[in-house]
Structure 1
Amino acid sequence: MPHCRPNQDGDIIREFLQVLKAWAGGAGAWRLRYSITDDSAAEQRGVRDAFQGLKEGATEGPQCKQAFQYLYSALYYRHTSMGCEQSIEAAMRAAPEHKKKYIKTEWWIIRNLWAYYARQHSCLLLQCMTTNAVESWHHSIKTHAEDKAQMTQFSLSGAASHVLMIGDDWQYRATCLPECAEFPLLKLFVR
């Protein structure tokens, strides 16, 4: 099969999701509220096109859309603890009653674990805005086995050995980066 262009891939994903929606009882039966996609423009476009309500916030209504905007601000744009707290409080005021408990338990209580302001103490953390490194790590764990079928037969010890082997490979490659030759102190980050 020839390789498709990203726009065609997005069209294929949209068509698949529309068939899945019809199978699940039509657009009214399946009201998608959230979608997590890979870092793939085609996947993101396919989901946006298949679930038009996500674009406008129509699946949750204007109150949720406004609350979401406050939470998004708390997550990405507030650089202080107080600013983040103000955005979360505004989200709780704007949210419909049935969402307030969720915001309190999933955003307010653990804000210091995820909010942008919590990264301010570390220049390294401020630079890491994607999950690409984690996805790359998972990909290498899955693809470094001689035979994928072999991985299903790993014992707990075999799985741990496999992960340690991949970790050693990553450690070696990190210390061989050209930047480490130019700036030897960078090697301290890979220990």
Structure 2
Amino acid sequence: MQAYLPGFLASYAILLVAVLSPGPAVAMLLGVALSRGRASAVIASVGVAAGAATLAALTLAGVGVLVQQAAWAVTTLRMIGAAYLLWLAYGSLRKAIHPPHIAPDRMPPLSPLRAFATGYLMQVTNPKAIVFWIAIASVGATNGAPATVVALFLLGAFLISLSGHGAYALALSAAPVRALYARARRTIEATLGVFFTLFAIRLATARS
């Protein structure tokens, strides 16, 4: 295990940068935390972490190299991610224009499956996350490693992603933040809608 430690540390450092860099997943967690509560946001963060582990497993298995080299795969991935972001933008802008007549702290939470799926789909269709995992794969942390070491690496990746995004979920669902949301609901929802739209345009128009 000691022989793989330097590669693990280098890979996890890259992953930590990805987790700490606010992007579509954090914007999604903000929307869920403020409108649906802490439990839904935390479950969504578990979905994000599971998505990160899925990308890690696929990248380590060589899918990341395929995506990097196949222009059609990159384009397809971008379009799927952009479409999902536009769907989230539509939901936020609709709430900004026609806010539900329900207090934010009384809105029913998402079902656990829906909350998990929201986070999972966001992460696995996020090209930014895939680019980071391609960079991580280039480190070669698990090259030639036995299955137990690979499994340990994936577990570490899951826990790092869960810790970072879970912290976002807890912070964004705190009472002061929710109180701010209640006072500036339309503005916050409209801002989220704009951010999701910009993220979608950036994904759709990015070069392969």
TM-score (norm 1): 0.22
More helix by share: 2
Larger Rg: 1
TM-score (norm 2): 0.21
Highest relative contact order (Cα 8 Å, sep 6+), 1 or 2? 2
